[in-house]
């Protein structure tokens, strides 16, 4: 149970519910294979049934941590920072990104776009979800669109989302991990017929790293 004072600091983005932080190799999308420091922020109400980090959903399970401490830990390892969740845009990202920028960091975010964009980002990976669609403000600034393919209907959803992003946005289809054996052949066939799309895989799971 956190105090009202602490909750106010979280609401202002001065503290954030920190689930975990770790230095690893980016496994997905455009920057796969790149060493990066991951900051996983707790809290998400999007509720994807296939989410592989459901423990991130309840922000109350993760200790409110001052952004200064988060930044201090991060820059010990890397100047390439990935902010993920949970859904990080649940919270105001302004102070976190301002402080990372002061340290000369390149800052990436992985988000469903379900909340308005806050913070300053060098790379925005938009991974939209059907059950809580992105806010309109993120589409024109997304650098990559990563649609998770769980079933055949997701191809239609992917095209609906691709129609809203900018022309320079890189388009990825990624098989949902538990259904990958079934969906990978369909994705490969789709991308070959629609080559503006690319295939993204969760390579970190194949490499057995976080």
For the annotated binding site for [4Fe-4S] cluster, the residues are 44, 48, 51
Q: Which residues pair with 109 in a beta bridge?
A: 83, 124
Q: What is the torsion angle, in degrees rounded to the nearest 10, for the CA atoms of residue 92, residue 94, residue 95 and residue 99?
A: 140
For the annotated binding site for substrate, the residues are 25-27, 40, 84, 210
What span, in angstroms and rounded, lies between the C-alpha atoms of 73 and 78?
Answer: 10
* Residue 153, CA distances (Å) to 126, 144, 158 in order: 19, 21, 9
For the annotated binding site for S-adenosyl-L-methionine, the residues are 50-52, 86, 127-129
**Which string of DSSP letters, residue by residue, matches 137-170?**
GGGGG-SEEEEEESSTHHHHHHHHHHTTS-TT-E
For the annotated binding site, the residues are 25-27, 40, 44, 48, 50-52, 84, 86, 127-129, 210
Q: For residue 95, what is the DSSP state?
A: H
Contact between 32 and 200 (Cβ < 8 Å) = yes
Q: Nearest-CA neighbor of 85 among 106, 55, 118?
A: 55
């Amino acid at each position: 149970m956190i105090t009202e004072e602490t909750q106010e600091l979280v609401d202002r983005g001065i503290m954030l519910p920190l689930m975990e932080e770790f230095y690893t190799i980016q496994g997905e999308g455009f920057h796969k294979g790149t060493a990066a420091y991951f900051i996983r922020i707790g809290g998400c109400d999007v509720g994807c049934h296939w989410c592989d980090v459901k423990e991130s959903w309840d922000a109350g399970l993760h200790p409110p941590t001052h952004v200064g401490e988060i930044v201090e830990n991060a820059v010990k390892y890397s100047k390439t920072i990935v902010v993920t969740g949970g859904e990080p845009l649940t919270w105001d990202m302004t102070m976190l990104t301002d402080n990372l920028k002061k340290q000369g960091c390149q800052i990436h975010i992985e988000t469903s776009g379900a909340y308005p964009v806050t913070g300053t980002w060098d790379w925005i990976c938009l991974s939209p979800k059907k059950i809580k669609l992105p806010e309109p403000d993120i589409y024109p600034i997304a650098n990559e669109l990563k649609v998770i393919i769980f079933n055949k209907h997701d191809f239609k959803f992917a095209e609906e989302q691709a129609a809203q992003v900018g022309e320079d946005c890189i388009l990825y289809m990624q098989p949902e991990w538990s259904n990958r054996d079934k969906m990978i052949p369909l994705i490969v066939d789709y991308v070959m017929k629609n080559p503006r799309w690319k295939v993204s895989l969760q390579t970190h799971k194949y490499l057995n790293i976080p």
